[in-house]
Amino acid sequence: MENSRYEIQRKINEDKFSTTFKAYDKKLNRYLSFKDYNDKKYFDSLSNNLKSLSNLHHPNILEMYDLMISSNNKCFLTYEFFDGISLDNLFKRKNVSEPFILDILRKILLSLIYSENNGIFFGNLRIYNMLVDENNNLKIDIFKNFDGKNFGDSKSQLNYNISVLLEILENSNIDIENSNLNSFYQKLRNNSYDDTQGIMKDLNEINNYKMTGSNNDSIDNTIKLDLKNEHEKNMSYKIDENLFEEEEIKNKKKSHNYLKSFLVYFTSVLLAFFAAAVIIFCYNLRPKAPDYVGKNLRLAVDQATANDIELVVDKSVSVDKSDFNKYVVIGQSPKVGDKLLFKKKIKVELGLEKEDTMINLIGLNLKKAKKELSNLGVNVKKVRYKKSSVYDEGVVIAQSIDAGRKIQNGDFITITVSSGKIRKTETIEDEYTPPEENERPNEDETDNSSINNNDSNSNNNQEFDNENTRKNENNSGE
């Protein structure tokens, strides 16, 4: 044996005479079961029986690959690896149905009849020799705890077959007495069968499965194999037709499920795209918010009603509903030009019409702002310029008197005008970010800015006076 050919993966089973591993065959690129015998004499006693098992080729029986003896007299057996769980553990973990048990029993009996037709008997099979995977595929592990006893004895094999079928029925969690299997189970207990084919015949009647046979009703649906030696010429291969039909049905269902999933996914994506398109289309149809700032409340309400728009005032503000003419709109939300929602409402801020109030200058160009201030009787004290990240050059970005505040004729105001937009590469320490439209700074911030401006002006005047004094002193000295 080439020691580097097999790569051991993990231990599968261990008994008194051997240890079985899952291994990888590097030469043939496949996984297999690798059985390591620790007693050569025991291995020699089984070798003849194991060699005959190598001629079995059935979909429900694990297939043998090779027998090996290494140079140091270590003995090995390799056979098919099947990733399944034994029936005894399966019954402990979940409940099974009656059709499942019928299918399992039928596959086991087909395997036993196939081996008996070829003169090979497994001996004492147990429930832990029966492996099932997640797709309900069955394999008989004839190599697990195989001791070769009663090998080739058909009478003993029939008793073993009945015992394992009873063990499966009794360990399953189905109610046998109230199932279709009750009469079949009672016949097994009473040893009413002369051969395995008789058991299979009764089981097929329970499952309503009709099989064609010879005149003596024996089941002989086989295909002869073209084998090499005299012993193999008498062997045959049992075809489980229903098994292949089930596989074909499963493949069709699987293909149908893939198509169904694709159609569901495609339909969902299409509906989502259509819904998004409808939402965007409806949103674009929504009207834009008109400009009500600076208008008399009565005029604003009339225009809003004509456009099917509702003007809303903060509940905390008391408004005399009998006389809207004494109010003026000084702010609104949404802002002018923004899309209105499905409920066409605009929240407005009000000032008194009869009182002189400052208007919102932010967003106006300097010329228009000065004209509006002149109409209000307010003097421009100073115009400052700053870079802005929002407004273009020449647009008012701040005012020292907030919109909506009371003013008197002759008041002074300082306005800040944008000297141009800030470039992305520019960094300004005192970069100015103007407030949102209709958003007012707090009075504390306004007062502080005014104080800071006065302080800076006073400091500049003081420096100018000191400079004049020094010049006068110099002149007098000369």
For 260-274, the DSSP string reads: HHHHHHHHHHHHHHH
What value does the mean pLDDT take over residues 421-439? 55
Q: How many residues in total does the chain contain?
A: 478
What value does the mean pLDDT take over residues 214-239? 38
In this prediction, residue 220 has a pLDDT band, given cuts at 50, 70 and 90, of very low
Residue 24 main-chain phi, psi, to 5 deg: -115, 125
Contact 35, 67 (CB under 8 A): no
What are 299-353's pLDDT values in tens digits?
888 888 888 888 888 766 777 777 777 788 888 888 887 878 766 888 888 877 6
Q: Rounded to whole angstroms, how far apart are CA atoms 428 and 395?
A: 19
- Among residues 128, 166, 133, the alpha carbon closest in space to that of 146 is found at 128
Q: Rounded to whole angstroms, how far apart are CA atoms 102 and 139?
A: 15
In this prediction, residue 427 has a pLDDT band, given cuts at 50, 70 and 90, of low
What one-character-per-residue DSSP string does 241-264 give?
HHHHHHHHHHHHHHHHHHHHHHHH
Q: Is 115 exposed, middle or buried (0-12, 13-18, 19+ CB in 10 A)?
A: buried
| Strongest mean pLDDT among 131-140, 242-251, 454-463 | 131-140
In this prediction, residue 149 has a pLDDT band, given cuts at 50, 70 and 90, of low
With b meaning 16 or more CB within 10 Å and e meaning fewer, what string describes 190-223?
eeebebbbbbbbebbebeeeeeeeeeeeebeeee
Q: Rounded to whole angstroms, how far apart are CA atoms 3 and 78?
A: 14
Please report the pLDDT score of residue 177 as a whole number: 86
Identify the DSSP state of 418: E
What are 24-48's pLDDT values in tens digits?
999 999 999 999 988 888 888 888 8
Please report the pLDDT score of residue 470 as a whole number: 52
Return the H-helix or E-strand segment holding 330.
Answer: strand 327-333
In this prediction, residue 411 has a pLDDT band, given cuts at 50, 70 and 90, of confident
> Per-residue pLDDT for 10 more than 80?
yes
Distance of CA 442 to the CA centre of its chain: 49
Q: Rounded to whole angstroms, how far apart are CA atoms 216 and 402?
A: 111
- 52 against 420, higher pLDDT: 420
Residues 6+ apart with CB under 8 A from 59: 240, 243
Q: Rounded to whole angstroms, how far apart are CA atoms 336 and 292?
A: 8
Residue 336 CB coordination number (10 Å): 15
Of the CA atoms within 13 Å of residue 173, those in its CB half-sphere come to 11
Please report the pLDDT score of residue 60 as a whole number: 94
In this prediction, residue 213 has a pLDDT band, given cuts at 50, 70 and 90, of very low
Weakest-pLDDT range from 2-6, 50-54, 128-132: 2-6
Question: Mean pLDDT, the chain, as a whole number?
Answer: 77
Distance of CA 366 to the CA centre of its chain: 57
Please report the pLDDT score of residue 103 as a whole number: 92
Residue with tokens 């087909």: 110
In this prediction, residue 426 has a pLDDT band, given cuts at 50, 70 and 90, of low
**Taking every pair of C-alpha atoms in the chain, what is the biggest distance, in angstroms?**
151
What value does the mean pLDDT take over residues 130-135? 90
Q: Rounded to whole angstroms, how far apart are CA atoms 333 and 360?
A: 14
- Say what the alpha-carbon torsion angle 55, 58, 61, 63 is, to the nearest 10 degrees: 50
> Per-residue pLDDT for 468 more than 60?
no
In 3-state terms, what secondary structure has residue 368? Answer: helix
In 3-state terms, what secondary structure has residue 38? Answer: coil
> Per-residue pLDDT for 446 more than 50?
no
